[in-house]
Structure 1
């Protein structure tokens, strides 16, 4: 009932109903006004009719009286002249018999009654004393006068010019008024009957209008409101995500039928586009697997269903090892082909071992996530996840053959369990990511389960990142310099700028720890330019050694700084700020920093060398391409990695490699620097092999800028520094 009332009093139907009610109100008002006017008219008609009837009746009565009194006066001449009372009585009695006559008098010239039409004539000889008598006695001719209740008509009785007397007849006006009232009542009754008949017709007309209005409302409800309301309901369902709401076509041929058909086609089109959008929104465009959004919704739904049941669920967070190297060396097109093949292999393993409830999704890049759920009460989810992880490591360890070449990859997998490791989707995914990160730290191409120790390590990493962001401004980061010696004469020729972090709570944070954090978080792009400026500023104060040139300063530059393309401008800004001679600045880059786009790196390094800045290749021999970089990248020196120098006294292979690097570099005119020299024997062996420069703890520990200045001021000695 409430819905019906709501339908009646809302929307288009309500407007039509309001219009009909307004018409009925106007019609009622007009009817009331017309009835009121009709009543006024009836009263006016009755008043005018009464006045007219009274006027006509009085005029007729006057005419009748005059017509009667005049002839009667002539007939009374002889009886009055001869004083024949009987003759007068006979004439007067005939007059008295007529209707409405109240009295008849024959009087003498003095106004005394001679006869009144009765037999006894009780007023004979008496003077007429009524108010109308004087005018009647004195009237020279026919005279009509009125009082409240009588019309008096008199006439003189003349014989020749002699006045014998006169005659008066009094007509009863009350009787006339009685007749008049009777006529007025009949007129009023007739007018009332006409008014009632007219009111009946007005009521019938109002009922007809209401019937027509009801028919119009029904027609609007049937042919207009109901279809429009159906379209509105369909629109609300479409808004809530239910698109297939109009399955049948309308047979109507009018405009509304066209609207219904257009709306149906629109809903079908929206449904089709929604399916396409959902496919795009929930599917990875490259591999066709579920994406992050689809996986997260599925994970939330499954956790809601499993909550409180005691059943387990495993999440495997997988990341392809060294996939960036594929994109950098082979290009993104080959990288996409690799991802397709990897996705196919992972899908096959998941379908074979994951069970019917397993789900695979690609999170983007080289990240894949797998969901394993117990398909039966006896299924061991942890065992299934372990078997699945081992199978994935084995499958992805096999080479991929693409474009007539083999690509070797691996996969690192982190596994987190519900409800043992986390109770929410966000924590489950976070813990899986942490476990995957630990798998990479464990050597890659393996699977690791999450535990609390991993979480502590990640929390420490996050804390270090947070603290490192403001460490420079708080003065916690400082510069130290490790001297570089010329092997031939033990002279100090330069120093490598190193960054140290003294945390007020953690103490000295190892460079390998916070530099790794800075590299992974991108903070190195903020810290690197500041290190460059500080190193150039300190080096500008260094004195010359033994009258020669002042020492150089070498600054390590990260791969991120090189890829940003802003390195030449940053170096130029540091030189301008400090006033340091460009020839005294060396930029150190690792081989891995240039892998992927050697052409871009070569252009940047060429710009640096054009300004006088020298470029060294750090950790030489540990990269993917080895000595080939000396041919493709413009460098001024190479630093032999400490891993080769450490065993040159005991490992023939390391000695051979070191000797080969020195020989090849010298043949190309490139300076050779050995790092990690820990004892005098290594130093002497490097001198024999022709190494140019060396640095290490046995030569000098890293020191402050002021301490390095004091070292430079010492006279040269043949003995190595302690």
Structure 2
């Protein structure tokens, strides 16, 4: 009999407690009950574990652990150890090192520690383990809290300090020395166990890869010691937010991996990833003040996105790269690569035609901020496609596959009209200023029919004032020698709509043509902005463009700003209107409007 009064392997019946009784999950096979029934007669303790949960325990195990049966069976295995790090160290010995015999320190309910000898029996079946426990020859020392074996002690950082070199060496085989998180070796062992369980239950596993946005700037501006402290802080936040069921590992530098076994709703696993991003983005003390560091995340799911860890990590990285393209501080879910082998872009083009009619297109808005005051001055409309199979796609992932110029123009006109409608609902700033709306315009739109008339219709229908609209023209417009195009742009500018050149700096041969059209601003190519602080050539080009804009009487904007060093460099060039991960990622239309309301 186990302490509940029932034969081991059978669920206990409700006792006097009103709590829901634990029902042991022994569906994996009758051999589990056989092990327990036999060893219930012995002095040794027996724990049956699966997926890091104690499935059942015999009476001797409960006595040795100083716990009631209901405080052992059905509980996470981690609850039997003093803290999460002690559990990770024990798990590393059992699962990674393959240690079969030894001694472990278990936590007692009164806060003490008890050392027990363990003997790991062979797996009962995939994912199910048997651990036999017995009292060592001398127990008293442990019950007074004085361990005989070296154990990890917490340090000020995330890693642990040890009393002897062998214990430290064993710990480092499975942990990152800087943060104390799991390393790749432990991640692989944990995934292997979870995959066996998930396959047997037709379950799922979520893999999230996170990279900090602009972390290299922290090391450059504040030094590596400050960077290390940031990593330790982020590691603690991720571990606390992910919860005891998840495993958080540090991959390299500022890259982390989170493994979540059996997510409750795999289709909503992105919400788990978003929770991690919010935890990372909380302000932290750095360099004598509060700083905000964000991260980008990519999510892949077992088994649909891969059945082995390498494939899942590769696909999560692909999703992570998409999140970065969306502006950072964003999570993207992996989907089949649109440029993958065998992909037929004509399917995407046909789907986009349908999307126009089926309300699958939507707009996100990214703030354009006055870097001196931090106040939002404009919002840029960015097209997204809520694809029924591939998820939320940024426009760069599907517009390039469209070859029909009429479809490109139709989509562009939809963006213009819809963006104007949204902008009329934006509240004014606290000083009464109305925010400007910026919309990207394709060459196909400009060259089809009377574009000036379509702009006027969008303004009239929405009620948006012309002075609040700015059209971002592709730099290749400057290479077009078209009197019709010039006349169209003159008519638009005459109404008060501002015209700017987007991604300027890719082709500097277009500089002599800047006077050809009635332009108001230049927007720096994000690749040049990202080079600030890294490349002297990029900095020289940015300085030259800034001087050119001043000579021509044009405003200059910067896109893709990631860190404070870039912000300061650009402000010194009178480039005060800036956009990028440092100031905020693109937001859905409702979220962007709410942000503006909160800023009032």
Q: TM-score, normalised by structure 1?
A: 0.35
Query: When you count strand as a share of all residues, which structure comes out higher?
Result: 2
* Pair member with larger Rg: 1
Query: When you count helix as a share of all residues, which structure comes out higher?
Result: 1
User: Which of 1 and 2 has higher RCO (CA within 8 Å, sep 6+)?
Assistant: 2
Q: TM-score, normalised by structure 2?
A: 0.42
